[in-house]
Structure 1
């Protein structure tokens, strides 16, 4: 059986490889019996391709046309609003009213843990895999990076988590108590440290269509982000300084998400790859754009009277009118079913079967602004911030500019990374009372102005974490404990 599995697998992989110009376009085999696979470097490579594919599903999994990860990490913030006339559970996360049975939350939980489990299989198999050991080490590093990235999103969404580092082979192995947030961060840091040691700086010039895989720069950038989020500023600074100067800002902000043919640029550090021609399109962005805007551009859009996700007026008003990023971030629809602000960042003219645009998870502008935050107010920090502002066509700022240093950093991050899944995680680095004030003010304004409703929004510490899905609590027979307030 083992021989037949391997022969069938390799024949199918070879057929998929024919005509592909990017390894991430391949739909890998992630359902081959683990007991008879991943025994050598070739099979392990197929396995990690499956991990990349599963990671892509995390970023594209949708409910009601809207990405689940988007609901939890962008709509949750003051950047984006949801259609509050939609089904209740699709609106709950925007209003901080979610319950333990919320399907978007449980759907994202499931997708993330599935990817972690696939990564665990590759990592464990790497300890015994035969073949080119340098390649095996690299593959394990790729899987550790992806596992760390998922744990990072999860710890910021749910707090304490079960730590699963081995593949689940039977039902009872899924039942683990939650480990502390500190322990989860320790795992993430170790994974990224291991990954950085095993990964190359670049795949350029390789023969295996490997551009787009995780690099050392990606591991160190994410390590810096993790340490910043965890409050370890010296460690964040040390990690980010290793990346400084290895990438560069693109001259034109609008080209970052300009579509096929402009992926993995000099600014890009790690992207989630999509390809409509290979049935791995990113369809979610087409729900951000009203049909009145999309149709003249030859692409698909939403015919809803209220978009499932849209920019808040607060975000739009916060921009300097001279900011060159505005047309590549949001626009205003003045005719058709939907009137008002829409997200313009991911529009791809001519895309009718979903988008070929990759989602840029890590890019060099993030390194510059995170390093500035880690260093703290100083001439060097303002120089880093002003690199980003210069591209946006804005004048330099310094210590004499209005606002505290943290307010200035957070504003720059908000404008640069709007709708790129940074904002809610960024807000969590602020004092709790400040987060409550920002979100209560924005939600009350959004309800009154857009829907003519008023909702009593009064947030507490419990609202900063999502509930653990009730299914997880029930299956564990109480071994997994619920977050406070749910």
Structure 2
């Protein structure tokens, strides 16, 4: 695809889309119809680019919502910011007093249905378009992965949701009702199965390296099976990913967030945010949301998404991963002209994985920079595989993949090469993070869950894991008691495993879309 076509699509779909107020019907309908568009493989490719860009809407990136809701509603992070009212919708969510009018909930719904509707355009029109039939089939399967991605996060967040599989108009949308989640999972599984023959990692040309792959499709399929407790099928899919040899752990845990390791061997799905031109908003501002609110390295961020003390306590003091999850007041990155200042953070910590040193802030201002969001890593796959094997009474095999992750962690340098001053350096020894040896199924399950928390900390997966593990309420109630705080104290087992359906959607359908219980 020519670069100028990408630029025009970014301008029309990326920047303009950031102000869109429609939710279920965020399609290109009315601007580009089947009578004037979707006729050739080039046009279908442009429509697919629009679907990809839905994950990168400036100021409304899905990664922002994924991390805020995925971590700040759990024991891993606090909202942060300047006050309770600063992004008050996230304060309500972490306090479990969320209302159906909550803007952050609506953001998740809007972005995911926008993704689905753009993917639907490609899936619906590609079969009748003129051009390279193999390319059109690939475009269709890429769109199916994106559609499944959207529905996965909708159904795991809201339960039953409207199932829309074809282009639609605003008038038609108001008649939509919720579809049982079992049917939604069926579509997700079918879409991801259809996409199994997409190119694998490394098989796309360099210019297309960030497109969804067969490995990403299988990763989402495995997550779907795990979330629905189908461990037999999950094990098969995860084995296929591992046996493909397309992925491997980086030698150092921290490398995952270094500029030199973008789209690395460990990256299963990564959202690229490369700056091409100061006139084209292709960078990201997510790191700015999560940077210390105090003036650090020449500018202050918004100070959200602060790692909790409980997350810090989940590690042993000699775990090198502490270096690459937390920042401390007094740290200084190479090239910065002042120390890290976390004085405004409610915990004293900030998120290392979203902190971009000044020397790496490739962009035209501090608000929009080049920084790829690492969304699914191979370490996640290995730990899911270990969990599935254990659930299928293959605990001895599970140890292989669990210990592969732990081995990489203990061999990681506790001294961050990107910092010239590091306040806390884990005192590693030859006995740090030893291999796990137990094959007791219940004990090993707990150990694997704990390892997932440490390995994937601050990457937005904690809430989903706690829900899937059926212990979200238990963990949050314990958090409230342990720290004598209101966070978690109001958790309602009959309500808070699901988010409320956005009230604006219910209003637009004259309440045809029902509300989740107890909201």
Shorter-chain TM range is: 0.7 to 0.9
- For 2:482 and 2:189, how far apart are their aligned partners in 1? 39
Q: 1:355 Cα shift?
A: 3.6
Report if the CA contact (8 A) 1:254-1:328 is conserved: yes
- For 2:183 and 2:94, how far apart are their aligned partners in 1? 29
Superposed CA deviations along residues 330-386 of structure 1, whole A, max 9, x for unmatched, are: 122265642511111122212234342211222211111111111115111011000
Q: Which residue of 1 aligns with 2:76?
A: 79
- For 2:184 and 2:488, how far apart are their aligned partners in 1? 35
Distance 1:125 1:62, change over 3 A: closer
C-alpha root-mean-square deviation of aligned residues, in Å? 2.6
Report if the CA contact (8 A) 2:69-2:90 is conserved: no
For residues 150-169 of structure 1, what are the structure 2 equivalents within 5 Å?
150-169=150-169
Superposed CA deviations along residues 374-424 of structure 1, whole A, max 9, x for unmatched, are: 111511101100000011102111217997222111111111111111111
Q: 1:248 Cα shift?
A: 0.4
Say which SS state the counterpart of residue 462 (structure 1) adopts. coil
Report if the CA contact (8 A) 1:55-1:146 is conserved: no
- For 2:306 and 2:487, how far apart are their aligned partners in 1? 19
Report if the CA contact (8 A) 2:479-2:488 is conserved: no
Say which SS state the counterpart of residue 196 (structure 1) adopts. helix
Q: Pick from 286, 289, 292: which aligns with 2:291? A: 289
Q: Which residue of 1 aligns with 2:381?
A: 367
User: Is 1:217 the counterpart of 2:215 in the alignment?
Assistant: yes
Q: Which moved more, 1:100-109 or 1:384-393?
A: 100-109
- For 2:487 and 2:176, how far apart are their aligned partners in 1? 41
Report if the CA contact (8 A) 1:29-1:46 is conserved: no
Q: Which residue of 2 aligns with 1:266?
A: 265
- For 2:494 and 2:270, how far apart are their aligned partners in 1? 33
- Note the residue ranges of structure 1 that are not aligned, 5 or more in a row: 1-9, 19-24
Q: Pick from 65, 76, 90: which aligns with 1:68? A: 65
Q: Pick from 387, 392, 395: which aligns with 2:409? A: 392
User: Is 1:484 the counterpart of 2:507 in the alignment?
Assistant: no
Q: 1:476 Cα shift?
A: 1.2
For residues 130-145 of structure 1, what are the structure 2 equivalents within 5 Å?
130-145=130-145
- For 2:78 and 2:97, how far apart are their aligned partners in 1? 14
For residues 230-379 of structure 1, what are the structure 2 equivalents within 5 Å?
230-244=228-242, 245-259=245-259, 261-278=260-277, 279-290=281-292, 294-295=296-297, 300-302=299-301, 307-333=303-329, 337-338=343-344, 340-350=348-358, 351=361, 352-376=366-390, 378-379=395-396
Moved over 3 A (4+): 28-32, 202-205, 291-294, 334-337, 400-403, 443-448, 453-456
- For 2:387 and 2:170, how far apart are their aligned partners in 1? 44
Superposed CA deviations along residues 112-136 of structure 1, whole A, max 9, x for unmatched, are: 1111111101110112112111100
- For 1:222 and 1:312, how far apart are their aligned partners in 2? 28
Q: Which residue of 2 aligns with 1:6?
A: none
- For 1:338 and 1:151, how far apart are their aligned partners in 2? 37
Report if the CA contact (8 A) 1:28-1:49 is conserved: no
Superposed CA deviations along residues 430-480 of structure 1, whole A, max 9, x for unmatched, are: 23xx321211222455564xxxx7884242221110110111111112211
- For 2:151 and 2:164, how far apart are their aligned partners in 1? 10
- Note the residue ranges of structure 2 that are not aligned, 5 or more in a row: 14-27, 331-340, 411-432
Q: 1:292 Cα shift?
A: 5.3
- For 1:28 and 1:148, how far apart are their aligned partners in 2? 26
Q: 1:308 Cα shift?
A: 2.4
Report if the CA contact (8 A) 1:40-1:130 is conserved: yes
Report if the CA contact (8 A) 2:89-2:102 is conserved: yes
TM-score, length-scaled by structure 1: 0.86
Q: 1:284 Cα shift?
A: 1.8
- For 2:380 and 2:488, how far apart are their aligned partners in 1? 35
Say which SS state the counterpart of residue 310 (structure 1) adopts. strand
Distance 1:314 1:407, change over 3 A: same
Q: Which residue of 2 aligns with 1:4?
A: none
Q: Which residue of 2 aligns with 1:408?
A: 447
Superposed CA deviations along residues 241-272 of structure 1, whole A, max 9, x for unmatched, are: 1111321000011111113x422111111111
Q: Which residue of 1 aligns with 2:99?
A: 99
Q: Which residue of 1 aligns with 2:494?
A: 461
Q: Which residue of 1 aligns with 2:418?
A: none
- For 1:204 and 1:243, how far apart are their aligned partners in 2? 15
Say which SS state the counterpart of residue 349 (structure 2) adopts. strand
Superposed CA deviations along residues 213-257 of structure 1, whole A, max 9, x for unmatched, are: 111111111111111111100111111111113210000111111
TM-score, length-scaled by structure 2: 0.81
Superposed CA deviations along residues 274-305 of structure 1, whole A, max 9, x for unmatched, are: 1244422221222323255841xx6x443x6x
Distance 1:205 1:409, change over 3 A: closer
- For 1:461 and 1:232, how far apart are their aligned partners in 2? 24
Say which SS state the counterpart of residue 353 (structure 2) adopts. coil
Report if the CA contact (8 A) 1:74-1:419 is conserved: yes
Distance 1:455 1:242, change over 3 A: closer
Report if the CA contact (8 A) 2:151-2:184 is conserved: yes
Q: 1:323 Cα shift?
A: 1.4
Report if the CA contact (8 A) 1:373-1:409 is conserved: yes
Q: 1:111 Cα shift?
A: 1.6
